[in-house]
Amino acid sequence: MMKLRIGLVGIGFIADFHYHGFNQNPDAEITGLCHVLHGDETHKAEGKALLMQKCAELNLKAYDNFESLVTDPETDALILGSINPLHFGQIMAAINNGKHLMVEKPVVTDFEQLLEIQKLSIEKGIKVFPAHNFVYRKAVRKAKEIIEAGKLGQIIHSSFISSHTISESHATGWRAKKASGTGGTLIDSGHHLVYQALYLLGKPAKVQGFKSKMVLKNMDCEDTAQVSLLYPDGSMATLMQSWTSGHAEMINGIRIIGTEGSLVISDALYFNNEKIETGADYPGSFVGQATAFSDYILKDIPPLSGLDDVNDTLKIIFGAYKSAETDSVIRF
């Protein structure tokens, strides 16, 4: 079996997690790195210096631009960790150049673009893998098994909560502008909560959203969002994502209660208050995701969260935004 040769796009913090995730993968390796330089000449020079430094640290081939990476015949696949506005063009270019893809969330924020990606990827025989890394945590996969086995009985209520701060560069960079980020904390970090809810609970019937900007006043969009979901069987869920407070260690996580038991995913997976799986950490999710990506490309094993889930994640998020703006409940 061939060893998958992967080019990484972007030098942000996420690049290191991807690199170390694939370091433990015998079927794939990251071989090169590029960064799309933008801004004035000083900013571009700083970006180029950071690219060369990162490549030297990780022993990777440096590419001066995306075009040289996407057309390299010695690269089989790409991981796109570039900023959101660049995703669609880079995805289409990669598909047309025969490169399989892992794309950081959100893959795109436009339904028409998503349809174009799905159509072209099928036409060209290229696989597009959403980087929904949280579902590849062992704790989440085990929780899914417990739910599907009916061990919780009838699910009554679930909560998915994540509150943390972000760096000044993130709070004042492209994420601060609606034109580039499309929204605030919900469509960015909140993506993780939504696709995990889809994986564990399925599709809701109704969506209601609330959003607020309390701390990061410079941002165009929300720094805190809450989404209420009602499912066809009558069960409910609450999702809350915030960039305002780092004091939520005992609050963050996933909690699901049913008539016969409960699940908690925090530092580990707890089933009826008993710790049964420790694989719940953030770095570990990239190890599981790397394996899933190479298995998808080399063994045709589908991802746990695919492009259809990207579509449903966007429907929930944009439904929540519409609900918040119109003070209404949205049917999914």
Within a 10 A sphere around the Cβ of 120, how many other Cβ atoms? 15
Q: Do 289 and 20 form a contact (C-beta atoms < 8 A)?
A: no
Q: What is the pLDDT of residue 12?
A: 84
Task: Tell me the pairing of strands 253-258 and 155-163.
Answer: antiparallel
38 backbone dihedrals φ, ψ, rounded to 5°: -145, 175
Q: Do 86 and 172 form a contact (C-beta atoms < 8 A)?
A: no
- Burial degree of 305 (CB within 10 A; 0-12, 13-18, 19+): buried
Ordered by start, the domain boundaries in the chain are 4-131, 135-280+312-331
Instruction: Verify cis geometry, omega within 30 degrees of 0, for the bond prior to 106.
Output: yes
pLDDT in tens, 257-309: 999 999 999 999 999 999 999 999 999 999 999 999 999 999 999 999 999 99
In CATH terms, the fold of domain 135-280+312-331 is Dihydrodipicolinate Reductase; domain 2 (3.30.360)
For residue 275, give every residue at least 6 positions away whose Cβ sits within 8 Å of its Cβ, in sequence order, or none: 268, 269
Query: Could you tell me the CA-to-CA distances from 173 to 111, 162, 226 in Å, in that order?
Result: 25, 21, 23
Residue 44: band (very low, low, confident or very high) from pLDDT cuts 50, 70, 90: confident
Q: Which of these CATH numbers, 3.40.50.620, 3.40.50.720, 3.30.420.40, 3.30.750.24, describes 4-131? A: 3.40.50.720
Q: Once rounded to an integer, what is the mean pLDDT over residues 131-144?
A: 98
Place of tokens 């089989």: 76
241 residue type, one letter:
Q
pLDDT in tens, 163-180: 999 999 899 999 999 999
| Spatial separation of the C-alpha atoms in residues 142 and 136, rounded to whole Å | 10
Q: What would the DSSP string read from start to end of 32-53? A: EEE----SSHHHHHHHHHHHHH
